[in-house]
């Protein structure tokens, strides 16, 4: 089973494609889609749409898992993150790929066993679960891997979700 995890954002959209085979999880592809703050937001969203479309076509994941936005202090940034997430989810659904969103607390719970784990714990657990010698960098990629791992943990406990 192949899950493309996405940590959405307008400036940096992290992604990590995690494969689970025979109980072993590994990262097949990872990176960051970056758009330039000097471009207009609609053009940046179109760029994300194009890149996500290419990734899905290339990697052919069984599912796309997206970190669900929780509102914090900066509403203006939050709107742009939500817009990027919307574009990612629409593109995945258009390609016929199952999409699920997970809030940060659920991702942390699945990866670290604790819904209020800090960033460092998540990074370390992602590294450990994927059997990597180095932590995934930048944090957007590690967070994207975490949401993919969360999807896989959920699909083990509810096999129907795994298709």
Residues marked active site are found at: 7, 67, 140
Cβ-based nearer residue to its own copies, 6 or 149:
6
Positions touching its own copies (CB under 8 A) are 40-43, 45-46, 48-50, 69, 71, 75, 78-79, 82-87, 89-94, 99, 101
Q: Which helix (H) or strand (E) holds 131?
A: none
Min dist. Cβ of residue 81 to its own copies (A): 8
Give the dihedral sign, CA 140/92/54/158.
positive
Q: β-pairing, 2-7 with 12-21?
A: antiparallel
Q: How far apart are CA 130 and CA 119, in angstroms?
A: 17
Element (H, E) at 112: helix 104-112
Smaller CB separation from its own copies, 89 or 147:
89
Q: How far is the CB of 54 from its own copies (least distance, A)?
A: 13
DSSP 23: T
Cα(17)–Cα(29) distance, integer angstroms: 5
Nearest distance in Å: CB 160, its own copies: 15
Q: Which is nearer to its own copies, 14 or 142 (CB)?
A: 14
């Amino acid at each position: 089973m192949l899950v493309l995890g996405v940590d959405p954002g307008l400036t940096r959209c992290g992604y990590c494609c995690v494969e689970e085979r025979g109980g072993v999880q590994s990262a097949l592809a990872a990176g960051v889609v970056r758009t330039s703050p000097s471009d207009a937001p609609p053009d940046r969203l179109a760029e994300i749409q194009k890149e996500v479309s290419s990734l899905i076509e290339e990697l052919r994941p069984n599912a796309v898992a997206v970190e669900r936005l929780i509102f914090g202090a900066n509403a203006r940034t939050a709107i742009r993150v939500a817009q990027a997430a919307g574009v990612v989810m629409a593109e995945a659904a258009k390609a016929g790929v199952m999409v699920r969103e997970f809030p940060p607390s659920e991702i942390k719970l699945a990866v670290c066993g604790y819904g209020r784990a800090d960033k460092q714990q998540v990074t370390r657990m992602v590294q450990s679960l994927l059997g990597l010698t180095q932590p995934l960098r930048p944090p957007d990629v590690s967070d994207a891997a975490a949401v993919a791992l969360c999807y896989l943990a959920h699909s083990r406990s509810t096999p129907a979700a795994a298709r």
